Structure 1
Amino acid sequence: MEFLLIVALIGVVLFWAKSHNASTKRIKALAASLDERNEEVYRQEVELAGLRSQVSALAGDIASKNAEISELLSDIEDLITEEVRMGAQIEQLEKAKAGLLQKIAHLLKLRSSEVASFEAERSDLRRRLEALAKYQGIVDTEAMAKSLIDEANMMRARAEEEAAETRREAAQAAKVRIEKANQRLEVAGGEADKIVQLARQRAEEIAGDAYKAMNRAQEFTRTALAMKNIINGYGDDYIVPTYNLLDDLAEEFGFAEAGQKLKAARDTSRSMVKNGLAATCEYVEPERRETAIRFVVDAFNGKVDSILSRSKADNHGKLEQAIRDAFYLVNHNGAAFRDARITDGYLAARLDELKWAATAQALKDQERDEQRRLREQIREEEKARREYERATKEAAKEEEMLRKAMEKVQQQVEAANEAQRADFEARLLELQGKLQAAEEKNQRALSMAQQTRSGHVYVISNIGSFGEEVFKIGMTRRLEPADRIRELGDASVPFAFDVHAMIFSDDAPGLEKTLHRHFLRQQVNKVNPRKEFFRLGLEDIRQELEALGIEAHWTMTAEAHEYRETLRIEQQILENPSVAEEWTRHQQEEIEAEVGEAEAVA
């Protein structure tokens, strides 16, 4: 029994020992695994510390780069400011160049006038010599005449020599100054291009691909817009009012000066091409670079010259956009040749040509309109003069007839008996009244002919042609102002004008100008102020005249007889087809009758 217990105890001890060994092994395995995990955690902590160090270093680099970017942006702004300043200097050089050309022209004109003066003096001396020809037998007179001629010849020779010397000096001085101006322009243009190029390079270094992508996106956008404009046309999107061009000019600025500005602008463009400032390219080889630049310059100039040939006063905005579109398209196509492209400075120079071409054309049109207005005024004055002459002659003729009739009646009065005398005296009084009226008419015609500013200011409308509340305020010096109104309602407008007021004034042009100036904002034509139509109420015109102390007879409602009758006929034609047929037949008969009369006259 004890033996069995001992055996059992030994078994238990052996089982426990075996179990303890297995647990010990598991604990050792777990401890080894835990050590490996601790090592992994330590390694990751070391890596994390390294990453944190790298992040700190990167943050420092980013802050440094941001500071550098801010500094470079400031440099770019300074470069752009410098570019603007140099552009202003270039513009000043162009102005100085134009001033020199004007001064040369003035000197040449002055010398020409001096030579003409000396020539006139010489001619006068010759005439004096001819006047003394009858005294040619007298030696002293002949010697004096010869002396005068010699003196005149010497003065002329001296004047011609001085004029030639002045021309040479002026030409030489102008040549030197122009050469200096061109040299300064070339240097300034080169420096400006270098500044712009440097700014672009610095920007590319800072922003890298983002800057390039932004520029490419802008180029593609502008190129797409240019293609759209070429395909769809420019429409009214780029219209610039004509007066915008003229607003930049001084009041004394003349067409000749605009022409000189245009010539100076074209000279600047040629100088930029000649000096290599019109285009640029990334080719290093000189031959390829020159070929690529010549290609884009020729392409751009071909487009621009074609655009400039269409320059008028009223299409400046469209043509400006067309030139910009040509600039973007040529630069887009030139990208295949190592970014061969037209410079911004050359684009500005060609746009300057367009500006002065349009300005010169606008001034030319303005001058032509002024000449047309003067011719119209001269014709109007001539018609008024003929009316005055005719009225004077008719009045004089009527006076003569009445005087003869009065003399005859006077004789009859003297020879008449008491019964007949009363009738003849009544006839004589009637003739005296007519004579007085004829004399007053003659005096009025003479007075208006002598007073060049007297006339009538009229207020008229044409509802059928221009609509309601559109009035023409004009002036005529005609003795019969209604004749002028009838002329205005000729075949150029479908209906006759209605007269609302006819005001006589001793200073008709002044009164007309006063009214035009007061109603300036109500002009129908905002471009050409010489079109005398105004959109306003008739009561406004009457109140202004009353404020000026001018009384007139007014017709406030327009008759517009033909217009209203036309509306009535149109309504009847719509409602009744038989009326339409009758009206058509009547119109055809009228036309055939007019043709027959014209053929008979021919």
Structure 2
Amino acid sequence: MNIKENKGLILIIIGIILSCTIYGMVIGIPLIILGTYFLYNKSKKREEFLDNRLNTKREEIRNINKKLEKLEKDKEKEIDEKLKDKREELDNIDEKLDQLEKERINEVDNQIKDKIDKLNNLNEKYDKLDKQKQMALDYKLEDKQKEYNELTIKIKSLKKEIVNDEDEIEMQSYGLYKPHYNFVNAVSYKERLDAIRKEQKQMIKDKTAAICVKEWTIDGDKNKGKSFTNSNIKQILRSFNLESEIIINKVKHSNIEQSEKRLRKSFGQLNKLNDKVNVKITTHYLNLKMDELHLAYEYEVKKQEEKELLREAREREREEKKIQKELQKEKNKFNKENDKLNKEIEEIKKQMTNSAEEEKSKLQAEIEKLKQALNKNNEEIEKINEWKEKPGAGYVYIISNIGSFGKGVFKIGVTRRDNPEDRIRELSSASVPFRYDTHVFIFSKDAYELESELHKRFEKQRVNKVNKRKEFFRISMDDVKQIVEENKGAVHSFVEKPDAEEYYDTLKIEKRMGLT
């Protein structure tokens, strides 16, 4: 025991021992008090020592936390920089892929051009050969012609995305889709779509959809290598088919070009990822997927077009039935009037038998008057019969609605109604804020043909170049006057300046309200 460090405890023990006697208490109690004082001072110093140690440790912990925070920030910054570098690398890879694709197309174009030049040179050489070898040369020329045709087909397939015609370039710049097929109905599209999908399945069965250009051997076993290759082919086709299905199912007019790019990009990326195992999807299989994309899109468009045509046909049929009913009603009215007129004529003839000469002349004048009315009714009946027998007869109308569409926009349509104004009132009651103004009605025995001719003439001025059943055109009043001049013998009520009463009255009200 260290006496110096435990002197307080020793003094307390001595004091307790001395306190056992009365005389010893005089010395023992002060020793106990003194020992207690020393013990108190020792414990206080120990507490101060521990507090100092604790503060020191806390300071060390704070320093460690600061270092950790700094390390985290530095690490995060380092990770961000690495991510940025990786993104830049990916962008560079995409640019290189695009450049390689362009170079490949140019290379193929040059090869095709060289082939065509060689074929042309061969044709010139064959023309110079002796007539005795002409028969043999004809057979060779046929072979060369077949080869030339095959090359031409390849040229078309390689360049089918390149649009050389200026009008097509302009249309595509507005996002208009150029159809790859021109089937008559949606059923034909569906049949072709099924045929392409069947061909894809056959390619997978024949192992031509994706190929491996290297024969693998694993652990000296070719069967293991073959199993490894089959797994890789199955994996790349599964990935490509899944991505293709997603793209094709979502294709629509607004994303057709983007869908084509996504399909090619998927093809390129999957082939690049599997380059190390020498597995790749064939170009022919990609072309089939592109055909499927175009057909799937055009099939949906064609179905919608057919629905619109059926709706239009049903509407035209309803209107025709309504017109036929109105014509029959009008014809019955004239026939009823004729029966009445004939009865009146017969009554007057009976009166004439017992009348004087002077009275007879008056009655005869009445008969002539009734016969004139009868003839006029018969003329109207003939017109009605002619109208009924000629389903193409009707009125081509040109109308405008400057309140709804602004100036310079005209609707060119057709109606079979006997009173064409009824059709304009129907259109005005539809979903337009203001009534239509009529500029001209043109009667024609083949009104639908005349309407079609006018639509073709102003095809470039169509407001809606996608939906051809929207009959609005941006033309001038001079164009309307030219139409009137060409059909002046059949024109009814030409009006140059539209009234647009509701529209102009609305402007006046807005002006009074301070809205303009």
Structure 2 match to 1:563? 503
- Higher deviation after alignment, 559-568 or 357-366: 357-366
User: Which letter does structure 1 place at the counterpart of 2:235?
Assistant: F
Cα distance in 2 for partners of 1:296, 1:527 equals 38
Cα distance in 2 for partners of 1:463, 1:263 equals 48
In structure 2, relative to structure 1, the CA distance for the partners of 1:559 and 1:239 (3 Å cut) is: closer
In structure 2, relative to structure 1, the CA distance for the partners of 1:539 and 1:427 (3 Å cut) is: farther
Task: Kindly report which structure 2 residues correspond to 1:74-473, keeping only aligned pairs within 5 A, or say none.
Answer: 81=111, 241-242=176-177, 244-245=178-179, 249=182, 255-279=186-210, 285=218, 286=225, 287-312=227-252, 315-331=255-271, 338=277, 342-404=281-343, 434-473=373-412
User: Which letter does structure 1 place at the counterpart of 2:205?
Assistant: K
Structure 2 match to 1:482? 421
Kindly report the root-mean-square deviation, in angstroms, between the aligned alpha carbons of the 2 structures. 4.3
Q: Which among 470, 473, 486 is matched to residue 534 of structure 1? A: 473
Contact preservation (8 Å) 2:444, 2:450: yes
Q: CA deviation at 1:369?
A: 3.2
Between structures 1 and 2, the one with greater helix share: 1
Cα distance in 2 for partners of 1:573, 1:564 equals 14
Q: CA deviation at 1:536?
A: 0.5
Task: Kindly report which structure 2 residues correspond to 1:18-57, keeping only aligned pairs within 5 A, or say none.
Answer: none
Cα distance in 2 for partners of 1:489, 1:78 equals 59
Q: CA deviation at 1:555?
A: 0.1
Q: CA deviation at 1:359?
A: 3.1
In structure 2, relative to structure 1, the CA distance for the partners of 1:454 and 1:254 (3 Å cut) is: closer
Cα distance in 1 for partners of 2:174, 2:475 equals 27
Structure 2 match to 1:543? 482
Cα distance in 2 for partners of 1:274, 1:297 equals 12
Task: Kindly report which structure 2 residues correspond to 1:503-522, keeping only aligned pairs within 5 A, or say none.
Answer: 503-522=442-461
Contact preservation (8 Å) 2:444, 2:490: no
Say which SS state the counterpart of residue 179 (structure 2) adopts.
helix
Q: CA deviation at 1:438?
A: 3.3
TM-score under structure 2 length normalisation: 0.56
Contact preservation (8 Å) 2:209, 2:284: yes
Contact preservation (8 Å) 1:240, 1:315: no
Gaps of 5+ in 2: 1-102, 116-170, 219-224
Q: CA deviation at 1:483?
A: 1.7
In structure 2, relative to structure 1, the CA distance for the partners of 1:451 and 1:274 (3 Å cut) is: closer
In structure 2, relative to structure 1, the CA distance for the partners of 1:414 and 1:487 (3 Å cut) is: farther
Q: CA deviation at 1:406?
A: 5.9
Contact preservation (8 Å) 1:455, 1:508: yes
Q: CA deviation at 1:500?
A: 0.8
In structure 2, relative to structure 1, the CA distance for the partners of 1:419 and 1:463 (3 Å cut) is: farther
Gaps of 5+ in 1: 1-72, 86-235, 577-602
User: Which letter does structure 2 place at the counterpart of 1:264?
Assistant: A
Structure 1 match to 2:50? none
Contact preservation (8 Å) 1:279, 1:340: yes
In structure 2, relative to structure 1, the CA distance for the partners of 1:328 and 1:237 (3 Å cut) is: farther
Cα distance in 2 for partners of 1:370, 1:279 equals 43
Of all paired residues, the percent bearing the same amino acid is 33
Q: CA deviation at 1:77?
A: 5.9
Cα distance in 2 for partners of 1:418, 1:411 equals 14
Task: Kindly report which structure 2 residues correspond to 1:6-25, keeping only aligned pairs within 5 A, or say none.
Answer: none
Contact preservation (8 Å) 1:238, 1:317: no
User: Which letter does structure 1 place at the counterpart of 2:263?
Assistant: I
- Higher deviation after alignment, 497-506 or 279-288: 279-288
TM-score under structure 1 length normalisation: 0.49
Contact preservation (8 Å) 2:341, 2:370: yes
